[in-house]
Amino acid sequence: MVNEKSKELGSNPSVIRDLFEYGKKRKQEIGENKVFDFSIGNPSVPPPKSVTNALINLLQTADPTTLHGYTSAVGDKTTREAISQYLNKTYQANTNSDLIYLTAGAAASLTITLNAILNKDEEVIVFAPFFPEYSVFIEKAGGVVKIVNPIEPTFTPNFEEFEKVITKKTKAVILNSPNNPTGVMLKEEDIKILCAILDKKQKEFNSTIYLISDEPYRELIYNEEEYPFITNHYKESIVCYSFSKSVSLPGERIGYILVNPQALNAKEVFYAICGAGRALGFVCAPALFQYLIPHCLGKTSDLSVYKKNRDLLYSALTEYGYEVVSPDGAFYLFVKALEEDAIAFSEAAKQFELLLVPSNSFGFNGYVRISYCVPTKQIKSSLPAFKKLIEHYKNKGEK
Ligand code: PLP
């Protein structure tokens, strides 16, 4: 008999991937440009030129046995130092390269971190709507998912609810801002409130509650603001970072975990991370891309494309009559479904060749997610379909 939980996970692939696969098939049937696939967060903007050039240069000049060889399990020391220096300079943070673990992207960072800190049946709080894999990672690590619903229509955390959900079994909270799927970015005041609640509850229960900041979208912000650096606000914090979205390298699987040196048992937490990485087989992240990291720090792909896409789509959809959550960052729009059941709405959208992810997979009902990291021409050519979709619902209502 195989492991039941793993079998269940494998036989029910993610709704996002399902829709993406449907889109590929549909494109073969009716043509590439006739399907408006907004399912997956795969950046359409190439990595910065300087990053590509640095990669070529590494391949042409570095010793190939080093470049493609094993690094130490935690990752290359020079790269970890470069990350630490960059963060300290950029955010006036106080990070330490000895507490940085290089990983195969944010997914690996999260699953390693959760396996490192969780004992059986300990609780992890997530704010809905949330990245669907959180439940998978938490439950596979033996934890229990606790969901806090947002305040609508701003989709900011409901701090009153949050405070009530924290118990002595709470081991961690996962925060993702700018957010997938809403695009909402928390303000510094929000972070301060959240951290004050956690400090208060740690004292009340005489416990340690880790704040895991999942940050693949840290740099994807379209106003003048900067997202606060979490270790400056809360001692028991762990950052899970990825280069997948900031410099468009999702397939290369590269990122890191950072433990706040000010955490009470920072060294112990880091050892647990090394142990979880070892047990999960996530040692020595892809070496070539470890060596590329110093050339990626502080760089982003051309964000003006995403900004343009967001503005085009947001203004067109609101003009047509859709209710859209106001997005500050990441590359997703969260749109209210035109009927109660978001899955039925997503199915109806398929008639117009629009592939929209129903929000149920994000632990929240009644919305769909539009991933707008697609070529701008796809946004432009999809607008008539969005218009037809809302007209279809208006006509249905009038009948
Ligand atoms: N966390 C969030 C919120 C995401 O949206 C994603 C990917 O879309 C991940 C984690 C996983 O990122 P990675 O590709 O770096 O594993």
pLDDT in tens, 168-187: 999 999 999 999 999 999 99
Residues 321 and 363 in one domain: yes
What CATH number should be reported for the domain holding residue 99? 3.40.640.10
Q: What Å distances lie between residue 83 and 79, 93, 101, 245, 370, CA to CA?
A: 6, 11, 11, 17, 32
Residue 181 and residue 359 in contact, taking contact as beta carbons nearer than 8 Å: yes
Average pLDDT over the chain reads 96
Residues facing residue 172 across a β-bridge: 124, 210
Choice from 17, 244, 373 to test ligand 1 binding pocket (greatest atom count within 8 A of CB): 244
**105 is in which domain, residue-wise?**
49-296
Residues 83 and 55 in one domain: yes
Structurally, the chain folds into a number of domains equal to 2
Distance CA 37, CA 214 (A): 25
Atom 5 in ligand 1: residue holding the nearest Cα: 180
Instruction: Check residue 211 and give its pLDDT.
Output: 98
Residues 377 and 272 in one domain: no
* Last residue in a domain, options 296, 323, 351: 296
Residues 253 and 313 in one domain: no
Residues 179 and 275 in one domain: yes
Residues 148 and 194 in one domain: yes
* Last residue in a domain, options 275, 296, 317: 296
Distance 10 CA to ligand 1 centre (A): 19
Residues 238 and 203 in one domain: yes
DSSP 45: S
Instruction: Check residue 13 and give its pLDDT.
Output: 74
Residues 279 and 368 in one domain: no
Phi, psi dihedrals of residue 120, rounded to the nearest 5°: -55, 135
Residues 228 and 325 in one domain: no
Residues 269 and 338 in one domain: no
Choice from 14, 133, 242, 243 to test ligand 1 binding pocket (greatest atom count within 8 A of CB): 242
- Write out pLDDT tens, residues 290-317: 999 999 999 999 999 999 999 999 999 9
Atom 2 in ligand 1: residue holding the nearest Cα: 131
* Last residue in a domain, options 296, 326, 342: 296
Residue 162 and residue 196 in contact, taking contact as beta carbons nearer than 8 Å: no
Distance 134 CA to ligand 1 centre (A): 10
What CATH number should be reported for the domain holding residue 341? 3.90.1150.10
Instruction: Check residue 399 and give its pLDDT.
Output: 62
Residues 364 and 224 in one domain: no
**Measured from the CA of 214, which atom of ligand 1 is nearest?**
1
For tokens 């650096």, the residue is 229
Q: What Å distances lie between residue 251 and 17, 247, 280, CA to CA?
A: 15, 11, 20
Instruction: Check residue 224 and give its pLDDT.
Output: 86
Q: What Å distances lie between residue 116 and 11, 106, 270, 293, CA to CA?
A: 27, 15, 8, 24
Distance 207 CA to ligand 1 centre (A): 29
For tokens 């330490």, the residue is 96
Phi, psi dihedrals of residue 388, rounded to the nearest 5°: -65, -35
**Measured from the CA of 254, which atom of ligand 1 is nearest?**
15
Residues having CB closer than 6 A to ligand 1 are 41, 105-107, 131, 176, 180, 214, 216, 242, 244, 250, 255
SS3 of 198-221: the string is: HHHHHHHHCCCCEEEEECCCCCCE
Q: Which two three-digit tokens encode residue 350? A: 């398929």
Phi-psi region of 233 (alpha: psi -120 to 50; beta: other; left: phi over 0): alpha
Residues 83 and 186 in one domain: yes
Distance 107 CA to ligand 1 centre (A): 6
- Ranges of the chain with pLDDT below 50: none
Choice from 15, 131, 241, 280 to test ligand 1 binding pocket (greatest atom count within 8 A of CB): 131
Atom 8 in ligand 1: residue holding the nearest Cα: 41
